[in-house]
Amino acid sequence: MQKIKIGIIGGAGYTGGELVRILVNHPNASIDFIQSNSNAGNNVGKVHEDLYGETNLEFSAGHHFDVDVIFFCAGHGEAKKFVAQNNIPSSVKLIDIGNDFRLQKDSVLNGRQFVYGLPELNKAAIKKANSIANPGCFATAIQLGLLPLAELGLLSKVYTTGITGSTGAGQALSATGHFSWRANNIQAYKTLTHQHLGEIGQSLRQLQPSLNAESVVNFIPWRGDFARGIFVSSQLGSDILIEELYDIFETFYNDHPSVTVSKDPISLKQVVNTNNAIIQLEKNGNDLVIHSAIDNLLKGASGQAVQNMNLMFGLEERTGLKLKGSAF
C-alpha cells in the first residue's frame, strides 16, 4: 500500500515526541507536518533530543488537510475546539490522544463519531472507524486487568492501586513533577476521584451491563520516583481456582498480540519503551490480585494511537511497534 500521510497537532510534548519516534521508523508512515505553537520553525531533533539525526523535519505553525490521518497530541480540550472550528474532510481520519471524546456522551461532534480506541475491547469497531478517542494511560492498564472477568460477568467490588512515572504529568514543570520533588519520594493523589474512572466504568459496563461501574472500581493513584511506566494492582474477591483464572485471561487475550499473560512475577522494565502490556495473577484464599504493567507513553498513549492507526488502515496491528523493552 502507499504510505499513510500523517499530520500531528501539538507535537512538542512527551506524547508528540513518542509518536514521532515511532512514525519515523514505521514502514507504512510518512509524516507530512508536525504542528507546534511554541516551537514553529525549530528542528524536531533539537526539541526531542532522542530524534537528533533521525529526521530533518521542522515544526510548523499551521496545518492542512491533505493527509490521511491527523493525530492530536495537544492539551485536553484542544482537539474538541479543533474539530468544532474546522471543516475537516470526511476522508481524513482523526486520532485524539487526549480525553476529549472518550466518554459516550462526548463522542459525537461536527458529524464525527469517535470510537473508544482500546483494541482489546473494540478492535472490530476501530477497523471501521474514521475517528478514534485514544484511552487514558491508567485506564488502559486497569481495564486490561479487568476486562476478561467483566466479559464473564465475574466482576465485583475492585480495589486498585497504581503508580505512574513523572512523564504522566506532561512536559510542563510543576511542583509535583520537578526532579527535586520526585526524587526519593512518592505521593497518593486524586484518591477515588481520578479522571479515568469514567472511561473505565464505561468499558466494564460494555461487557458486564449489570455492573454499577461508577462505584465498582475504588482507585488510588500514586506519583512514582521514576520517569515512565505504570504498574497497577487490582484486588477483588473470587472463588475460582487460579488455574482456571489463567485460562480465562489467556483465552481472552489470545487474539491480542500486545498483551501477554505471565505466571511469573512481572515488573515495569519488561514493558517500558514498548507498546506491550503484561498481566500476572496472584491468589490467596478467595482474594484475587491482578497486576498489570504498561509504558504510560506508549501502550498508554502514542503507541496505542499507532496501534489504532494500523487497524484503521488494514495493517497488522503491531506494525512499527515491535519495540525492545529497557531490561536494565
**Residues forming the active site:** 137
Task: Determine contact, residues 3/67, Cβ cutoff 8 Å.
Answer: no
CA gap 311, 119 in Å, rounded = 9
CA gap 307, 317 in Å, rounded = 5
CA gap 312, 315 in Å, rounded = 8
* Residue indicated by cell numbers 501539538: 10
C-alpha cell at 18: 513518542
Side chain identity at 152, as an amino acid letter?
L
* Residue indicated by cell numbers 486524586: 190
Indicate the SS3 state at residue 255: coil
Side chain identity at 275, as an amino acid letter?
N
CA dihedral 15, 19, 146, 292 (to 10 degrees): -80
* Residue indicated by cell numbers 466518554: 103
> Which residues contact residue 8 at a Cβ distance below 8 angstroms, ignoring those fewer than 6 apart?
16, 19, 20, 31, 33, 34, 35, 70, 71, 73
DSSP-assigned letters across all residues of 134-146: PPPHHHHHHHHHH
* Residue indicated by cell numbers 458529524: 111
